[in-house]
Amino acid sequence: MTYCVAMRLREGLVFASDTRTNAGLDPIAIFRKMHVFERRGERSIVLLTSGNLATAQSVVSLLRERMAHEDVVNLCTVNSLFGAAQLVGDIVNEVIAHASSSQQNGGIDFSVNVLLGGQIRGESPRLFHIYSQGNFIEATEDTTYFQIGEVKYGKLIIGLVIHYDTSLDQTRKCALISFDSTIRSNLSVGMPIDLACYREDRFALEVERIADQDEHSNTLRRAWSDGLRSVFENLP
- The footprint of a second copy on residues 136-155 (CB under 8 A) is 152-153, 155
Nearby residues of 220 by Cβ (< 8 Å), 6 or more positions away? 173, 176, 177
How many Å apart are CA 179 and CA 147, to the nearest integer? 11
**For the window 153-192, what string marks contact with a second copy as x by the rule CB under 8 A?**
x-xxx-xxx--------x--xx--x---x--xx-------
Nearby residues of 206 by Cβ (< 8 Å), 6 or more positions away? 196, 197, 198
List residues bridging with 118 in a β-sheet.
45, 126
Residue placing its CB nearer to a second copy in the complex, 29 or 223: 223
Does residue number 1 form part of the binding site for a second copy (CB under 8 A)?
no
- The footprint of a second copy on residues 217-236 (CB under 8 A) is 219-220, 223-225, 227-236
**Number of residues forming the site for a second copy (CB under 8 A):** 31
Q: Which stretch binds a second copy (CB under 8 A): 16-24, 33-41, 72-80, 212-220?
A: 212-220
Residues 50-62: b if buried by 16+ CB within 10 A, e if exposed:
bbbbebbbbbbeb
Nearest approach in angstroms of CB 183 to a second copy is 11
Residue pair 119/201 in contact by the 8 Å Cβ criterion: yes
Q: What are the residues binding a second copy (CB under 8 A)?
A: 152-153, 155-157, 159-161, 170, 173-174, 177, 181, 184-185, 216, 219-220, 223-225, 227-236
